[in-house]
């Protein structure tokens, strides 16, 4: 089976969405860019993540769709993000509670934690509402994502991206955590956001210096 390791990683990430409480049922979707040619692997539509196997994933290369199951209804959204962001290697779409509350209110999630500034690159904006699975939603999501690592979909949910599946999942987890903190902080008096200069410094330090094998 081609891309066996990548298929296993996509399945693992999809299950992690469920176990982390970022989705319920069969909602949400996961994809990863192919390492050696244009195309993606994406989760199928309406599939129980606990029953999902690597063979169930759908291989999409341009207009060619390979697999025994239908791809996620948000295929266009994933494709639009990959087209606009060559640096993105994986996309994770969740319906986590607090992030979706901000999406329902059509309010951005502010950059009030260092993790948010470092991993996401600032506040998370909300793309205007468009029906799920539509080309309009795909275009809006890619546009409002801009150069950041996450975007809210109005009255819908959250999309996190990264260089790989691990990073895309981390984006979703950090955004959900920050949304919770923002909601709690609002109840006890509010919170202060990082300035653009502070965000820039935190993001650059994270990207270029944080961790091993960096200067």
CA distance 159 to 152: 6
Collapsed DSSP state (helix, strand, coil) of residue 120: helix
CA distance 207 to 20: 25
Residue 95's nearest CA partner among 160, 11, 164, 10 is 160
Instruction: Given the residues 9, 16, 74, 115, select the one marked as catalytic.
Output: 74
Supply 29's token pair: 């979707």
**Residues of 90-111 as b/e, b for ≥16 C-beta within 10 angstroms?**
bbbbbbbebbbebbeeebbbbb
Our answer to whether residue 74 is catalytic in this structure is yes
Write out the catalytic residue numbers.
74
């Amino acid at each position: 089976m081609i891309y066996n390791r990548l298929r296993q990683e996509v399945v693992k990430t999809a299950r992690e969405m469920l176990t982390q409480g970022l989705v319920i049922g069969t909602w949400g979707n996961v994809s990863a860019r192919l390492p050696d040619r244009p195309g993606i692997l994406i989760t199928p539509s309406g599939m129980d993540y606990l029953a999902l196997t690597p063979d169930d994933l759908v291989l999409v290369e341009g207009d060619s769709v390979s697999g025994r199951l239908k791809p996620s209804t948000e295929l266009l959204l994933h494709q639009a993000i990959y087209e606009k962001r060559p640096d993105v290697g994986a996309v994770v779409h969740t319906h986590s509670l607090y992030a979706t509350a901000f999406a329902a209110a059509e309010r951005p999630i502010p950059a009030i934690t260092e993790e948010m500034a470092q991993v996401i690159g600032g506040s998370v904006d909300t793309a205007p509402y468009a029906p799920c699975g539509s080309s309009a939603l795909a275009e809006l999501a890619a546009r409002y994502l801009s150069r950041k690592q996450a975007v809210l979909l109005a009255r819908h949910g959250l999309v996190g991206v990264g260089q790989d599946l691990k990073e895309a999942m981390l984006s979703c987890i950090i955004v959900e955590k920050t949304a919770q903190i923002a909601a709690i902080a609002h109840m006890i008096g509010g919170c202060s956001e990082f300035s653009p200069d502070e965000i820039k410094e935190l993001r650059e330090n994270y990207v270029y210096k944080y961790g091993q094998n960096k200067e």
